[in-house]
């Protein structure tokens, strides 16, 4: 089912003047996203959660109980829509919203991959229950769960489950499927998910990082209709020309908004949107959410109305929701911002579904927590591990005198295959922190047997201790990196005991820990505390020698199918170019 308005009758009677409005906004400058005009002296009437009227003056709709907001020449704009984000992990969603709402984002379209790698469709439903009936809209995308880890298959959401989930009005499409794994394999699994989604009339999100020409075409042919991985103006043009909606990402992982600059004024941007692709907790707490992206677009030279369209109407239209959100028009949800001036994106007032929910940067409404079901609290199915089980016998090395390594590059995301010479004096290969050679472990948490692979990593930089985390992208498992087996096992075992978390072990002790017991991906702790803990853990890792910009982010991504060139799985390293699994 799709979201719909069950109160059209009430709304039309208010529009006609037969019933008073609940809220009237008077004398604002309307950002008319439909025509691209900025229209002075406009007024809006709201009945319940919906807009009943927009036009010269809604004074006729003012009754005794009508709340009247005088815009006094300030700007009336639609609530912002972030069409591609990841807000299901780390924090409790109520805490997230408290910090995100004042910036004016009233619709969040989020991937829900973590909960699903933890518990499949059951995890997805658990997150859906977190986001229903919130004061803002959080629409969810079903993750295709492209993974390099074979164990993840046990958690895949099937085509039949997808069909069922798509009936939920909170579910508006299929999430990003990394193009390599969606089209360069003979496996039709994701194509079947795509077909179910298109049959249901919902959208299929893409992720075409680095794809050009034939491969970019093949991915569109497979059914992907958006891409948030354009990193140059050539990428923007080629994607648009092939029918993709281009979501210009400007977030903590990458900042690509500049790629649109050479195209401003040269092409039609109605199939371009802005997007965050997720938020960093520290940035969220200090700067808020998404507003900065729209502001930056204006500062780059986009007309404010154009920047606003890219964060309102354009994403709404892409998802086929423009009859409900993305504009100030009758029949739409009353998601309305009062901005101080056309070029200033930080709202004075945030109205969502007819309610004033934030004012002057502060959230005004309570955001009660929704309890999680028990099943999502026990998802790390791994027996505790003894340090000696992490030994790598010299005989396992693929070449004499050395081991294959994952070499993390400077940005902390990409890793390349490497080769490190090791001593052949002992029967096992040990980490050598002095030359930045550490062990890296992946243990799957699905089968109950804890299938694992122990390899080697360079570029991490820690001189002592070990980190382990269940908060890993695109896989059902724990990733750990360490300078010795004792701390490695200690960190891993603590994550298992916590049923999810990120842990630093040092000298046989647990030095720092952040529990993520909700599916192994998120926490009920207050976001401020959680963010402080994450920063402290990150600082501790840096104090132990790591020079990475964000060790936490690096750790999360080491098993991800989204990032080249080599990743770790329970079956060995996975190499994208060779499309194979290899050992040390």
Residues making contact with a second copy (CB under 8 A)? 1-2, 4-6, 8-9, 11-17, 30, 32, 34-37, 39, 50-56, 60, 183, 188, 191, 194-195, 198-204, 213-215, 217-223, 225, 237, 240-243, 267-268, 270-271, 317, 320, 322-323, 327, 329-332
Smallest gap from residue 317 Cβ to a second copy (A): 6
Tally of CB atoms within 10 A around 425: 6
Of 336 and 358, CB closest to a second copy: 336
Of 237 and 582, CB closest to a second copy: 237
Of 242 and 356, CB closest to a second copy: 242
Burial 468-495 (b: 16+ CB within 10 A, else e): bbbbbbbbbbbbbbbbbbbbbbbbbbbb
Structure tokens at 577: 């170019």
> Is residue 223 left, alpha or beta, with left meaning phi > 0 and alpha meaning psi from -120 to 50?
left
CA distance 535 to 180: 34
Which residue matches tokens 């050598």?
432
Of 218 and 394, CB closest to a second copy: 218
CA distance 136 to 235: 32
Smallest gap from residue 324 Cβ to a second copy (A): 8
Smallest gap from residue 57 Cβ to a second copy (A): 9
Of 47 and 351, CB closest to a second copy: 47
CA distance 305 to 33: 7
Helix, strand, coil % over all residues of the chain, rounded to 5: 30, 30, 40
Smallest gap from residue 12 Cβ to a second copy (A): 4
Smallest gap from residue 15 Cβ to a second copy (A): 4
Q: Sheet harboring 572-575: ordered strands across? A: 566-569, 572-575, 580-582
Of 160 and 287, CB closest to a second copy: 160
Of 9 and 526, CB closest to a second copy: 9
Smallest gap from residue 297 Cβ to a second copy (A): 17
Smallest gap from residue 485 Cβ to a second copy (A): 45
Smallest gap from residue 23 Cβ to a second copy (A): 15
Of 333 and 460, CB closest to a second copy: 333
**Under DSSP, is residue 27 helix (H, G, I), strand (E, B) or coil?**
strand
| Alpha helices in 469-550, H assignment, sequence order | 485-498, 527-543
| Alpha helices in 290-385, H assignment, sequence order | 291-299, 304-309, 313-318
């Amino acid at each position: 089912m799709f979201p719909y308005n069950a109160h059209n009758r009430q709304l039309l009677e208010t529009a006609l003047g037969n019933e008073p409005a609940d809220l009237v906004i008077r004398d604002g400058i309307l950002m008319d996203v439909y025509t691209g005009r900025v229209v002075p002296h406009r007024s809006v009437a709201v009945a319940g959660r919906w807009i009943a009227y927009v036009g010269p003056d809604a004074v006729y709709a003012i009754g005794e109980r009508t709340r009247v907001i005088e815009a006094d020449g300030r700007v009336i704009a639609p609530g912002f829509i972030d069409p591609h984000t990841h807000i299901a992990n780390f924090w409790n969603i109520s805490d997230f919203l408290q910090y995100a709402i004042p910036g004016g984002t009233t619709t969040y379209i989020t991937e829900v991959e973590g909960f699903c790698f933890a518990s499949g469709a059951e995890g997805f439903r658990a997150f859906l229950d977190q986001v229903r009936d919130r004061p803002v809209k959080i629409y969810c995308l079903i993750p295709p769960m492209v993974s390099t880890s074979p164990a993840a298959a046990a958690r895949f959401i099937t085509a039949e489950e997808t069909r069922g989930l798509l009936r939920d009005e909170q579910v508006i499409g299929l999430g990003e499927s990394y193009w390599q794994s969606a089209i360069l394999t003979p496996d039709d699994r994701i194509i079947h998910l795509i077909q179910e989604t298109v049959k249901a009339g919902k959208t299929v999100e893409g992720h075409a990082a680095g794809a050009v020409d034939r491969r970019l075409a093949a991915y569109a042919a497979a059914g992907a209709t958006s891409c948030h991985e354009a990193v140059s103006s050539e990428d923007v043009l080629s994607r648009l020309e092939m029918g993709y909606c281009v979501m210009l990402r400007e977030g903590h992982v990458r900042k690509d908004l500049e790629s649109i600059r050479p195209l401003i004024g040269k092409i039609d941007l109605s199939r371009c949107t802005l997007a965050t692709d997720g938020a960093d907790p520290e940035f969220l707490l200090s700067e808020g959410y998404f507003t900065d992206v729209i502001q930056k677009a204006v500062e780059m030279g986009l007309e404010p109305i154009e920047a606003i369209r890219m964060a309102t109407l354009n994403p709404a239209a892409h998802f086929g929701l423009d009859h409900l959100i993305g504009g100030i028009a009758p029949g739409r949800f009353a998601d309305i911002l009062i901005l101080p001036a056309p070029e200033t994106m930080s709202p004075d007032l945030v109205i969502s579904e007819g309610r004033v929910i934030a004012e002057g940067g502060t959230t005004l409404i309570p955001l009660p927590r929704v309890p999680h079901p028990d099943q999502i609290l026990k998802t790390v199915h791994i027996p505790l591990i003894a340090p000696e089980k992490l030994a790598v016998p010299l005989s396992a090395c693929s070449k004499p005198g050395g081991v294959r390594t994952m070499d993390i590059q400077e940005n902390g995301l990409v890793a390349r295959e490497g080769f490190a010479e090791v001593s052949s004096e002992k029967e096992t290969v040990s980490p050598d922190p002095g030359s930045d050679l550490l062990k890296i472990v992946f243990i799957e948490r699905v089968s109950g047997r804890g299938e694992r692979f122990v390899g080697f990593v360079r570029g991490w930089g820690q001189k002592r201790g070990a980190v382990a985390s269940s908060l890993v992208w695109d896989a059902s498992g724990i990733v750990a990196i360490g300078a010795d087996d004792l701390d490695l096992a200690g960190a891993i075992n603590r994550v298992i005991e916590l049923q999810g978390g990120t842990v630093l072990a040092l000298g046989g002790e647990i030095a720092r820990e952040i529990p993520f017991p909700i599916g192994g991906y998120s926490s009920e702790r207050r976001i401020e505390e959680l963010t402080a803990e994450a920063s402290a853990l990150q600082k501790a890792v840096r104090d132990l020698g790591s020079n990475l910009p964000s060790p936490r982010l690096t750790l999360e991504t080491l098993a991800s199918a989204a990032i080249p060139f080599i990743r770790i799985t329970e079956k060995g390293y996975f190499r994208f170019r060779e499309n194979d699994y290899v050992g040390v």
